[in-house]
Structure 1
């Protein structure tokens, strides 16, 4: 069974996309995060996965809202490494490869998610590189205890540290071509520039930026 999980932070102003300040106030940063998540979920629905899961971080008490086509779960752990470890342990228990993607790269397409899942037929670990030195998705074919502990998350070293650790464990590694994610004001400016010339930009993100007056309607 091919499992695809989307890891997202619960959209609450002041708690999401905080590094976009001062380019965007808290309410607009939250609106952008919601839109990017919507585009990520759309891409996930188009991927060739047998099981899809949306896992929330810092979500309110139950009941959590349903999302068509997705099981709903909670992330657990003190940092991203712990949350990934818990998520993989839980999802891999059902059998088959697992890919976990974030929601910070709204231009992600189903083909990228399919490539990650396909790679796990011949690799132990797949990373979806981002231009800032991190990764937007990660997949495992089998449990890899301790792989994500102590990684310098949210730094340009995150991907290199994970790759080094994988090689030290003799894991077969596949790294996908880099994609842009959106964390900082500079990332936002670059995204707007790409949207202006894209033939098929991500729909929800385009609408959100147009509502903010940052893209023409």
Structure 2
């Protein structure tokens, strides 16, 4: 099978454990409500797409939750930093499916839509790597045709340098990169206020 496979990284929606930076400004309860809405939005995209999807939970796998669709396989993230977790997920999905295109997203981006995933998948036809940059210097989407360990090592994750470092690594490896539009990862009150009013 050569269709695009989707990896989604999520956390269990537990108070005090999600959106901790945002919670400093709006409190744990409201931060949890925001995260639940982000999870629902992500689930809506998965339902609309019906792409073969692998949802990786940070801790325990969710049962009868937002992602309980017949075509979704649920797994637990590996140990290590974010780079190691993503690399392990890419490798696992590649080995299990032999997919020639794999896209990973998180659940922090309210404006993400199926159209972004479709655009990224199409761009992978002519590129090795497709990136959806986020407003904080990282990325909300990464699409790969083949997996290179270098893209996931030597990067200080959750910093404003993640995107630049990733681009630098792609260039040094001779990989052809393409991009889709920048979106907002909702991590702070400023991020929350900058998306459409009333959305969350």
The Cα of 1:48 is off from its aligned counterpart by 6.5
1:133 corresponds to 2:133? no
The Cα of 1:14 is off from its aligned counterpart by 1.2
CA contact (8 A) 1:44 1:113 kept: no
Q: Pairwise mapping of residues 17-96 of structure 1 onto structure 2 (< 5 A)? A: 17-47=19-49, 49=51, 51-59=52-60, 64-66=62-64, 67-68=68-69, 69-93=71-95, 94-96=97-99
The Cα of 1:21 is off from its aligned counterpart by 2.8
In the alignment, the residues of structure 2 paired with residue 98 and residue 131 of structure 1 have an alpha-carbon distance, to the nearest angstrom, of: 23
The Cα of 1:77 is off from its aligned counterpart by 2.5
Stretches of structure 2 lacking an aligned partner (at least 5 in a row)? none
Stretches of structure 1 lacking an aligned partner (at least 5 in a row)? 197-205, 210-217
1:179 corresponds to 2:180? no
CA contact (8 A) 1:77 1:86 kept: no
The count of corresponding residues between Structure 1 and Structure 2 is 192
1:149 corresponds to 2:147? no
TM-score (norm 1): 0.83
Q: Which runs of 4+ in 1 moved over 2 A?
A: 44-49
Determine helix, strand or coil for the equivalent of 1:139: strand
- Going from structure 1 to structure 2, the CA distance change for 1:77 and 1:175 (only over 3 Å counts) comes to farther
1:13 corresponds to 2:5? no
Map Cα deviations across residues 146-175 of structure 1 (whole Å, 9 max, x no partner): 311121211111101001001100111112
C-alpha RMSD of matched pairs (Å):
1.6
Map Cα deviations across residues 38-64 of structure 1 (whole Å, 9 max, x no partner): 101211332373x112110122xx6x4
In the alignment, the residues of structure 2 paired with residue 139 and residue 146 of structure 1 have an alpha-carbon distance, to the nearest angstrom, of: 15
